Amino acid sequence: MAAIAIAAIVIIAAIVAFLPKGNNGGGGSDTPIGVALPVYGNADLDSDIDDDDLKIIKKIISKETGYSIATYPFADAKKDGIIDQRDVDVVQKIIKKEPTSVYHLNYYNDGAVNVKTKVVDTKWPCEDLMVTYNSVMFAMTSLGLDERVVGATAVGNTSLDKYVYAKMIENADPLSYTYDSSWNSMMDISSVSKVMLKHPKAHTMFVSAYGNYDAYNESEIENVGCDVVRLCESNPTRDETIASVLLAGFLTNTLDRAKELASLYSDIWDSCTRIASTLPIDDKTGFIVNVGGDSIAGTSNQHNYKCLLAGGKSVLGAASQNIGTWILEDEYNKNIDKILIIVWSNANNGFFFGNHELNPQTILANYVGEAGEDTLWEKTDAWKRDDVYFVYGDYPTAFDLLLRGYAMYPDYYGALFDESCKKMLSFISGGTFEGKNVQLIYKLSELQSY
Ligand SMILES: [Ca+2]
Ligand SMILES: [Ca+2]
């Protein structure tokens, strides 16, 4: 039991260390931005840019007491270190919806829970868009932008995506990518240029914040005149996700819709974490084994961390399906209440599915069938008890938390799951998953019965 106790302490320490960073993305920004629109010109750091921001900028220029760039760093719309008429001009253009360049925060994530920010500039408003990664696509389709997406990595390489993003895929041309030896995805620049030639207004690519995985060759993309906007949409951080939704809405001139969506994300996140904090300790799932983590007791992996945030007591991650014999040791085995297997079907990981179809058969083949030779999952008590859940992964973070929470504690999360799924799916063009032979959570026995 000693190992379990140590793991629990490490997790508590990780959560305590994580919380205070929630408002500033772990460093890099000039000031804690909370869940505000992270755009320079948004002087008062609320969720839009309007006359209130202009008033602040003008007060700084006229040196009113209490008003300075130090107090209002986001007043510097031109991002040149001083507040003057040029900042007023930029904000006036934004308010009048005239084209201009805006400075904003891009998000960079290490594949785990660490998020950094960097100030970049982007042409505003964005018209035709390119996207990578299915959770970014989810944000775009939720904002009602399907028809403006003219290039996407998932085209021709999707599974569930092709149902959720049918309209987007129909409109968009494929963006190709390859991997380097460290699994960094490198966008094929010729495919990007091809889309830009065909759609001259397509000079913005929205990518996920996975700096190491998604569009790693950012400078090459920028060299062909394409702005790269990084959104922190599926990492286990609330504020950065909400700020990213607002940023996407602002840059595409659909901010009102973004505010609505951001509010829904906040509600789901808050409700999930409230449920997690009130779970009786005896009811907490003692040990979750999450395939997809990259280390043993890998609490920093985003998928594992989402399990913890949803109320899990402890997490073991295991790279791919490769686990060691230790999993069968009494100490571990008896403490595994549930095995959550995170099923990806996104643009980056879609290649796991050879035939690009996400359905019960391919999930089983990819996560169970072939794994049997290499792993000992099937010998664990949890597996024998059928306490194994396949959870669709890589939705935006609030929804991901909900899916994990529901898989672990259906009794507690049931009502919220039903209600939130309905609301969230109503944001997706094309409606629901009904009749598509795909759902969000499968139990092992359910998969095997197909
Ligand atoms: Ca404002
Ligand atoms: Ca300035």
Q: Give the residue from 55, 73, 98 where a domain finishes.
A: 98
Contact status, residue 285 vs residue 338, Cβ threshold 8 Å: yes
Find the 103 Cα to ligand 2 centroid distance in Å: 11
Q: Residue 226's pLDDT is what? A: 97
What distances in angstroms separate CA 175 from CA 65, 201, 325, one per listed residue?
52, 16, 41
Q: How many helices (H) and strands (E) does the chain have?
A: 18, 14
Place of tokens 């305590």: 16
Q: Residue 21's pLDDT is what? A: 29
Q: Is 106 inside any structural domain?
A: no
What distances in angstroms separate CA 87 from CA 18, 41, 59, 69, 101, one per listed residue?
35, 7, 12, 12, 12
Cα separation of 148 and 157, whole Å?
20
Find the 225 Cα to ligand 1 centroid distance in Å: 29
Q: Is 385 inside any structural domain?
A: yes
Q: Residue 347's pLDDT is what? A: 43
Q: Which pairing describes strands 315-318 and 338-343: parallel, antiparallel, or unpaired? A: unpaired
Find the 274 Cα to ligand 1 centroid distance in Å: 29
Terminal Cα distance for the chain, rounded: 39
Token pair for 126 = 């964005």
Among the bound ligands, the one closest to the CA of 57: 2
- 8 with 93, same domain: the answer is no
Q: Residue 369's pLDDT is what? A: 63
Find the 117 Cα to ligand 2 centroid distance in Å: 20
User: pTM for the complete prediction?
Assistant: 0.86
Q: Residue 132's pLDDT is what? A: 86
Q: How far is CA 246 from the centre of its chain?
A: 14
Token pair for 276 = 């997690």
Domain that holds residue 389: 2-13+282-448
Cα separation of 264 and 251, whole Å?
20
Find the 87 Cα to ligand 2 centroid distance in Å: 5
- 50 with 6, same domain: the answer is no
Find the 35 Cα to ligand 1 centroid distance in Å: 12
pLDDT per residue over 265-305, tens digit each?
A: 999 999 999 999 999 998 998 888 776 554 444 667 778 88
Tally of domains within the chain? 2
Find the 221 Cα to ligand 2 centroid distance in Å: 27
Q: Is 258 inside any structural domain?
A: no
Q: Which pairing describes strands 173-174 and 129-131: parallel, antiparallel, or unpaired? A: unpaired
Among the bound ligands, the one closest to the CA of 255: 1
pLDDT band at 113 (very low <50, low <70, confident <90, very high): confident
pLDDT per residue over 340-367, tens digit each?
A: 888 765 544 444 445 556 677 777 777 7
| pLDDT average, residue stretch 51-70 | 98
Find the 96 Cα to ligand 1 centroid distance in Å: 14
Among the bound ligands, the one closest to the CA of 78: 2
Q: Residue 374's pLDDT is what? A: 56
**Any alpha helices (H) in 313-375, and if so which ranges?**
330-333, 360-364, 371-374
CATH number at residue 94: 1.10.1330
pLDDT per residue over 235-244, tens digit each?
A: 788 899 999 9
Q: Residue 217's pLDDT is what? A: 92
Phi and psi at 124, nearest 5°, equal: -125, 145
Q: Residue 156's pLDDT is what? A: 60
Residue 106 pairs with which residues in a beta bridge? Answer: 118
Q: How many CB atoms lie within 10 A of CB 386?
A: 12
